[in-house]
Every structure is written in C-alpha cells, then in structure tokens.
C-alpha cells in the first residue's frame, strides 16, 4: 500500500513538473510586432500589429538621426529630443489590430539609420515587454 502511494506521489509530481515546463511564457512579439513601410527619406512610416489580448498602452520610441526636425507626426508625439534624435509616443487604450505611426521630417535621412522600440505591459502577467523594430 505504501509503495503504491509513493508511486502515485512520484507520478503526480512528475506531471506537475512537466506541466510547468510545457507552459510557454509570452514574448513581446506575441503582443506587438511591427515593420517599416518607409524607413528612409523625409517620410517615415511604421506599422504596428497589436495582437490579442491587447496591450492596453504602448510606449513607442523612434530613433532618428540627431538634429533632424519633425514637421508633422500622426499620432501626435509626446516628446522629442532633437539632440539625440529620439521621438516618443504614448498610445493609449490600444485594441488588437493595426496602428500606423507616420512622420514627416525636415530633411531626408539615409537608409538604415532608424529603429523603434515598443514597450507594453502583458495584461496576463503584468510584466513589461520590449520589442525592437529595425528596417
């Protein structure tokens, strides 16, 4: 009887361990992915794909060449550090689907100089996630 209880206990513990290892943690790419439609010249276009469950808010940092001015952006930017070439947006209450960020710059920038970083909170775990998007 005791031997059978030990076997049952070992089996239950083994199944519990396997279940824990089988659970895959969410990555940032599971929540948000993105790609550049245009990453050079005067017009920069970044498309973000927000997957469900939604990341309620997105913080987007766009890195450009230093000393470039921004003529316009959609959505409206929150911060712009011209010396560092860093632009920031806070996009609130994002629903699953597509989000497009566009910018018109004062002068063209060459290919390969832009990149974006997107931060969002995983609604299931509460953990902050980061994703880098390059052309």
Q: Give me the residues of the chain with pLDDT under 50, please.
A: 18-26
Q: For position 22, what pLDDT does the model report?
A: 41
- CATH code assigned at 81: 2.60.40.3670
13 domain-assigned = no
Q: For position 123, what pLDDT does the model report?
A: 78
**pLDDT tens digits, residue range 47-67?**
999 987 655 799 999 999 988
9 domain-assigned = no
Number of domains the chain is built from: 1
5 domain-assigned = no
User: Which H, E and C letters describe the chain, residue by residue?
Assistant: CHHHHHHHHHHHHHHHHHHHHHCCCCCHHHHEEEEEEECCEEEEEEEEEECCCCCCCEEEEEECCCCCCEEEEECCCCEEECCCCEEEEEECCCCCEEEEEEEEEEEEECCCCCEEEEEEECCCCCCEEEEEECC
Which residue segment(s) compose the domain that 44 sits in? Answer: 28-133
126 domain-assigned = yes
Q: For position 107, what pLDDT does the model report?
A: 95
> How do beta strands 86-91 and 79-81 pair?
antiparallel
0.85 surpassed by pTM: no
- Phi/psi zone of residue 112: left (φ > 0), alpha (ψ -120 to 50 degrees), beta? left
6 domain-assigned = no
88 domain-assigned = yes
115 domain-assigned = yes
23 domain-assigned = no
CB 37 within 8 A of CB 45: yes
Placement of tokens 């939604």 in the chain: 54
The CA distance from 102 to 123, in Å, is 27
Q: For position 51, what pLDDT does the model report?
A: 86
Q: For position 1, what pLDDT does the model report?
A: 60
């Amino acid at each position: 009887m005791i031997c059978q209880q030990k076997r049952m206990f070992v089996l239950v513990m083994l199944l519990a361990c396997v279940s824990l290892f089988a659970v895959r943690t969410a990555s940032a790419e599971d929540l948000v992915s993105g790609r550049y439609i245009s990453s050079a010249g005067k017009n920069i276009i970044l498309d973000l794909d927000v997957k469900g469950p939604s990341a309620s808010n997105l913080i987007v940092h766009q890195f450009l060449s230093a000393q470039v001015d921004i003529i316009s952006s959609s959505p409206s930017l929150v911060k712009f550090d011209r010396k560092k070439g860093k632009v920031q947006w806070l996009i609130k209450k994002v629903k699953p689907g597509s989000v497009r960020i566009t910018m018109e710059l004062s002068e063209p920038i060459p290919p390969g100089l832009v990149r974006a970083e997107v931060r969002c909170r995983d609604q299931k775990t509460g953990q902050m996630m980061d994703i880098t998007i390059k052309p």
